[in-house]
Amino acid sequence: MAALVVRGVRDMLKRADFATVPRRHRHKKKWATTEPKFPATRLALQNFDMTYSVQFGDLWPSIRVSLLSEQKYGALVNNFAAQDHVSAELEQLSARDFVKEAISHGEPEPENGQTAAPSPASWACSPNLQCFTFARGDVSCFPPARLGSLGVMDYYLMDAASLLPVLALGLQPGDTVLDLCAAPGGKTLALLQTSCCRRLQKVLHSYVPQDIRDKNRVRVTSWDGRKWGELEGDTYDRVLVDVPCTTDRHSLHEEENNIFQRSRKKERQMLPMLQVQLLAAGLLATKPGGHVVYSTCSLSHLQNEYVVQGAIELLASQYSMEVQVEGLTHFRKLFMDTFSFFPSCQVGELVIPNLMANFGPMYFCKMCRMT
């Protein structure tokens, strides 16, 4: 009897779903040899055209063509390699260290007429990072990284905008650092390059010497990140929460592991909830007075600003925790010569793809746990 009821419910749901489809688009599976199939990349573009044209208005056509064009990369120098030699080789390619250049040209601006500079924790970039890019409009490509004389790779090719969340974290020597969603490892590698982390396997094995990995300076686990606030609450000085997202550029170019596959529709719809849970866990794992940077490689405000606001409200209501968003205006000014920033981001900063500087998308927001 139970099986009959279940079968009846399923039949009813099928009829209900079928009834919502316009007649001209209906087809009967029992007569059709194949169902209409669209590649996930095409479904992603249709979704973006529908949502981002509203979100970005007149900017969307420019962002769209940039997303569909070849991405620009940066070369993150591996400080565990012979870095002076590597930097010299990259300079010979007419590439520039955009981090060094930006910091050397930018000084903290006085606030409210005061002459004192802001606290280093509020504006300073994480130290010791070297990342080379080609100038705006230069579409040159870096050669593949090589195995250096010290047995590790010379540099790591990555979207240079991915370095911004790590820079914004403002690491200090001796910080205990958690990278809550570390795979595939580019930002984790950047964190280790700062020489500030006490704690944080293909990327690490290729770029980090074995003695560093063996001294318990790096701990890699597969625990559910949503539970980290319960497992190690009030523990870390700095937390990076680089969450799973729609990975907009990847979704337009790669069928493999594409979240716009029809079979992953529910997973895609649940992303904002997962992101709120991960950010909340990261904030719970942070010491009072510590800092968290939330980041995605999506343009969607539902995955960006709304998630930040949702996590802050959740923690306030359930844990009476106060979290303060820190402004990154000065930070944006430091790097505006390399990246194109969306001018109307309400919370945090968003790098938007631009043909002259085709990095991103990359959203990042810095927060301080007050209590």
Tell whether residue 187 is among the known ligand binding residues.
yes
List for the chain the helix, strand, coil content (%; round to 5): 40, 15, 45
- Between CA 159 and CA 29, with CA 269 as vertex, the angle to 5 degrees is 115
Q: With b meaning 16 or more CB within 10 Å and e meaning fewer, what string describes 314-343?
A: bbeeeeebebebbebeebbebbeebbbbbe
Q: Which residue has the tokens 């059709």?
A: 32
DSSP state of 125: P
C-alpha pair distances (Å), 122 with each of 167, 289, 304? 12, 11, 21
User: Most distant CA pair in the chain: distance in Å?
Assistant: 80
Decide if 308 contacts 365 (C-beta within 8 A).
yes
Catalytic residue IDs: 297
C-alpha pair distances (Å), 163 with each of 35, 154, 184, 191, 295? 43, 17, 14, 9, 11
Tell whether residue 186 is among the known ligand binding residues.
yes
Of 26-35, 62-71, 315-324, 329-338, the least confident:
26-35
Question: What's the confidence (pLDDT) of residue 226?
Answer: 64
Distance from C-alpha of 56 to C-alpha of 358, rounded to nearest angstrom: 17
The residue ranges of every structural domain in the chain are 40-104+124-369
Distance from C-alpha of 150 to C-alpha of 300, rounded to nearest angstrom: 42
Q: Which residue has the tokens 């927060």?
A: 367
- Output the average pLDDT for the chain: 83
C-alpha pair distances (Å), 317 with each of 142, 283, 304, 312? 49, 14, 20, 9
Confidence of residue 217 (pLDDT cuts 50, 70, 90): low
Q: Which residues pair with 362 in a beta bridge?
A: 351
Distance from C-alpha of 369 to C-alpha of 154, rounded to nearest angstrom: 36
Tell whether residue 154 is among the known ligand binding residues.
no
- Strands (DSSP E) contained in 243-370 are 286-296, 323-326, 349-351, 362-369
% of the chain exceeding 70 in pLDDT: 75
Mean pLDDT of 199-208: 56
Q: Which residue has the tokens 């910091």?
A: 103
CATH of domain 40-104+124-369: 3.40.50.150
Tell whether residue 214 is among the known ligand binding residues.
no
Of 72-86, 107-121, 288-302, the least confident:
107-121
DSSP state of 153: B
Question: What's the confidence (pLDDT) of residue 20?
Answer: 44
